[in-house]
Amino acid sequence: MEWRVAAIISLWLIAGAYSFPSVSDSFENDLESQARLFLAEYDRQSSEKCFNAANANWNYATDIRDETEKIKLQKSLENSKFQKEAWKNITIQFKTRENFQDPVLVRTFKKIAIIGTSASALPEERLKEFKQLQNTMSKIYSTAKTCAYEDVTECNLSLDPDLTKIMKESRDEQQLRHAWKEWHDKVGVPIRQYYKPYVDFSNEIAKTNNFSDAGAFWLREYESETFKEEIEQLWQTLKPFYQQMHAYVRAKLRDTYGDQFTEDGLIPAHLLGNMWAQSWENIYSLVVPFPEKTSIDVTEQMKQQGYTPLKMFQVSDEFFTSLGLIPMPPEFWKESLLEKPNDREVVCHASAWDFCNRKDFRIKQCTVVTTEDLITVHHEMGHVQYYLQYKDQPLIFRRGANPGFHEAVGDTLALSVITPKHLKEIGLLDDSTPIDDYETSINFLLSMALEKIAFLPFGYLIDKYRWDIFDGTVEPSNYNAHWWKLRREYQGIKPPVERSEENFDAGAKYHVPADVEYLRYFVSKVIQFQFHRSLCLEAGQYDPEDPRKPLHNCDIYRSKAAGSKLAAGLAMGSSRPWPEAMKVMTGQDKMDASAIREYFKPLEDWLILQNAKLAQPPGWQKSTNDLESEAHSYLVELDQLSSQKCYESSVAEWAYATDINDENEKVKLELSLDSAKFSKEISQNVTATFPLWREFKDPDLVRKLKKITILGAARLPDDQFKKYAQLETDMTKHYSTTTICSFKYKETCNLSLEPELTKIMRESRNEEELRHVWTEWHDKSGGPIKQTYKKFVEISNQAAKLNDFNDTGALWLNSYESETFKDDVEELWQTLKPLYQQIHAYVRAKLRNVYGDQFSDDGLIPAHLLDIVVNAEELCLASFLKFEFK
């Protein structure tokens, strides 16, 4: 269902000599007139080349033989030469073309430039190599054969029709799984090795056209700097509806394939009736809301009434002309291939062709008499109608306003054709069939949504995936992981079997190996509803205020007003940026998801109710990988924030430590409370956002998160923490402000630990003085805080327990990150003990010489003789980043 003009333009061939008028001196002052002359001739010659190329291409596609293939390929290389030559002429003759006054000229040259330079971007050898590469990938795809589920030695199943039929009709989970795996393995794996070189080639071509990468090169046709963001925004608007449908379908599929579903909320990719899970209409019978009510499938009616492929095209043509649009010309009916011939091999993939001569337009489709193909017929006829509408534009503007427009025309009309109302009108639904009741509408809307809404995330992610590859966001070593990341994130599906980086599952979708841009299909799905809404309003068939005229039941049949509005936009081709064409057709100048939401509104309401009834929360879990990368970003952000907090509380603590007063104490306490709250919030955030962080693969990440979730005292309830901080401050303050009286001058009572007492302990050899100082200090500093300390131990243990530790000792030991740390330390001590004891014995002997009467037979040294008042106090109390050394 592609349209062919892009391929044809790039397949321009050169049939012998050609010449362009050159700029003569006498006309030098009127370069723009010269440019017009030049372009007229360019148009004439390139139309001719285009016609010949299209012809060779058609001959191959409708009769696959070595001979026709050879001619087609030969023309393709000749074409490169023609384009190269034309572009060389332009660059020499119209150096100032970008400064021309006439905007049409500027636009024309801009568009020619892209064809011209891409044809010549690579040296001939490299170009050949690139074409070979593309050919190899396409060939792997189109010739892949898989083995049957029932008999694995029977290995001649192709995608079309065998696997497609299995995916569509089989309800045997094992068989579906087998077909899915066979196709993805037999196609994706062999293609994988060619993809990186293909990416490099594509980027090289894009760069020679002054685009940053191939993704940007594709996006050029949408003529918007912010197109990626616009698309993402559209998707975000549509996502809630998609998720409702996803939840409903998941619940229904669970009834059929219960054991295939797990708690993650994802749907296994092989159960949706389609190899790529890109549209779900084939599982309609499994999810139909009201099975006893009518469903719109007119295949049987068509067969009964003797419909042929030709008749289907005539019905479609009649619909177009009923709107006052252009009828298919005689050449169309004479030359098109509407049925699969029996006498030769043809490319069956439906396509619409423009032969560039303003009268030859054809469709090639192996049409089968089914409802589905009736829609496809309208889709292809839409392409031809577009060709007909813009046929009088210069060749370079004979394209869609953007690629999505071209895909949307036929679909827009089909939205009318497929309504039960219209099918009745053309006699394909029995007059007696009730169609206006609520249940039938819901059935109808769900069948539409299974095709149109299910497609949206897929239509988006195919190119999002490739943008990420082209711009280097994704490395080749992550090709498959990234594919499944997007499939999970956007579609909510997962692979039915284990995948690895051996696989290349994106390669199992045609457009990836075939190098075809895909975003057009997403754009088309959105804007066709904008077109439909506008045409329905124009036709008077839709009234937002009138429940009897809902958008989904509108049929624009026979409305000349609607037809002329559509035609006005189509006739512009790509001569103007697409928002202008959009404005002509809809009054809006941008893409907008409100029309599609309006169309499906009754279904969306029904789904919300239904899912609530079934207790089906929409949405699905993120993968560990996605969560890990989110956690990484979260930590980077957090680091900045906590550095700031840390700075603030360090400043406050410094102020207090260097000037102990009430005000500083207050600020310090406030900030410590604040920072405790902050830590608590972060820790709660982490456990809520990443409940499974302990299972993350990156050990560094796990380590960081572990440290964040261990809060120490900060985990206490606010009032308890306040008490804790106050106790701690009280004790520290008491310690730092304790003074004692002098031994020599009893009335002097302001001796502090530092420097006075330390000096005495260090220098005095007066045993009595030493004893006095030691006793006084211990009694006055230690004694009074005994009760406080008891409370402190209680509350501190309480905090430890809240952090899942037995007590504060265990919490402290946690920072040594060893289960055996206590034992290790004890062992160290045992090793050092003999040395210590030797020193102890020696010092004891020496001290006995000075303070003989202080020693008894127990071998102990009295503590006040050792020049140390107290031992090291490790005061790492409030902040996890502050260390105080003795």
How crowded is residue 378: how many other Cβ atoms within 10 Å of its Cβ?
26
Spatial CA neighbour of 627 closest among 530, 694, 717: 694
Q: Is 1 in the site for Zn ion (CB under 5 A)?
A: yes
Q: What is d(CA 266, CA 621) in angstroms, rounded to the nearest whole number?
A: 8
Length of the chain measured in residues? 886
Q: Which residues are catalytic?
A: 380, 511
CB nearer to Zn ion: pick between 1 and 810: 1
520 annotated as belonging to a binding site for a ligand? yes
Considering only the stretches 1-9, 106-114, 129-137, 683-691, report the one whose residues sit in contact with Zn ion under the rule CB under 5 A.
Answer: 1-9
Minimum distance, C-beta of residue 380 to Zn ion, in the bound complex (Å): 7
Spatial CA neighbour of 414 closest among 363, 447, 380, 443: 380
Binding-site size, Zn ion (CB under 5 A): 2
How crowded is residue 496: how many other Cβ atoms within 10 Å of its Cβ?
18
Q: Is 810 in the site for Zn ion (CB under 5 A)?
A: no
**Unique residue bearing structure tokens 């795809």:** 141
Phi, psi of 325 (to 5 degrees): -85, 175
Strand positions, DSSP E, 418-497: 493-494
Q: What is d(CA 79, CA 49) in angstroms, rounded to the nearest whole number?
A: 8
How crowded is residue 25: how many other Cβ atoms within 10 Å of its Cβ?
6
How crowded is residue 853: how many other Cβ atoms within 10 Å of its Cβ?
7
Minimum distance, C-beta of residue 352 to Zn ion, in the bound complex (Å): 7
Q: Which residues of 385-424 are buried (b: 16+ CB within 10 A; e: fewer)?
A: bbbbbbbebbbbbbbbbbbbbbbbbbbbbbbbbbbbbbbb
222 annotated as belonging to a binding site for a ligand? yes
CB nearer to Zn ion: pick between 354 and 407: 407
Minimum distance, C-beta of residue 383 to Zn ion, in the bound complex (Å): 6
635 close to 701: Cβ distance less than 8 angstroms: yes
CB nearer to Zn ion: pick between 1 and 106: 1
454 close to 243: Cβ distance less than 8 angstroms: no
Q: Is 7 in the site for Zn ion (CB under 5 A)?
A: no
407 annotated as belonging to a binding site for a ligand? yes
One-letter amino acid at 728 equals: E
CB nearer to Zn ion: pick between 1 and 741: 1
Minimum distance, C-beta of residue 381 to Zn ion, in the bound complex (Å): 10
Minimum distance, C-beta of residue 6 to Zn ion, in the bound complex (Å): 11
Minimum distance, C-beta of residue 515 to Zn ion, in the bound complex (Å): 17
- Long-range contacts for 98-101 (Cβ within 8 Å, ≥24 apart)? 100/31, 100/32, 100/35, 101/32
Q: What is d(CA 727, CA 858) in angstroms, rounded to the nearest whole number?
A: 39
Token pair of 358, please?
């303003």
β-pairing, 267-268 with 351-354?
unpaired
Q: What is d(CA 844, CA 846) in angstroms, rounded to the nearest whole number?
A: 5
CB nearer to Zn ion: pick between 412 and 616: 412
CB nearer to Zn ion: pick between 530 and 814: 530
154 annotated as belonging to a binding site for a ligand? no
Max CA separation in the chain (angstroms):
131
Q: What is d(CA 442, CA 798) in angstroms, rounded to the nearest whole number?
A: 59
Q: Report how far Cα 779 is from the mean position of its chain's Cα atoms.
A: 68
Minimum distance, C-beta of residue 245 to Zn ion, in the bound complex (Å): 24
How crowded is residue 197: how many other Cβ atoms within 10 Å of its Cβ?
12
Q: What is d(CA 88, CA 100) in angstroms, rounded to the nearest whole number?
A: 19
518 annotated as belonging to a binding site for a ligand? no
Minimum distance, C-beta of residue 222 to Zn ion, in the bound complex (Å): 17
CB nearer to Zn ion: pick between 75 and 364: 364
Q: Which residue of the chain is nearest Zn ion when measured via CB?
A: 1
CB nearer to Zn ion: pick between 407 and 653: 407
One-letter amino acid at 408 equals: A
362 close to 332: Cβ distance less than 8 angstroms: yes
CB nearer to Zn ion: pick between 1 and 847: 1
Token pair of 854, please?
């202080």
Minimum distance, C-beta of residue 435 to Zn ion, in the bound complex (Å): 29
Question: Rule CB under 5 A: which of 370-429 touch Zn ion?
Answer: 407
Q: Annotated binding site for chloride, which residues?
A: 222, 520
Q: Annotated binding site, which residues?
A: 222, 379, 383, 407, 520
Q: Annotated binding site for Zn(2+), which residues?
A: 379, 383, 407
Q: What residues make contact with Zn ion under the rule CB under 5 A?
A: 1, 407
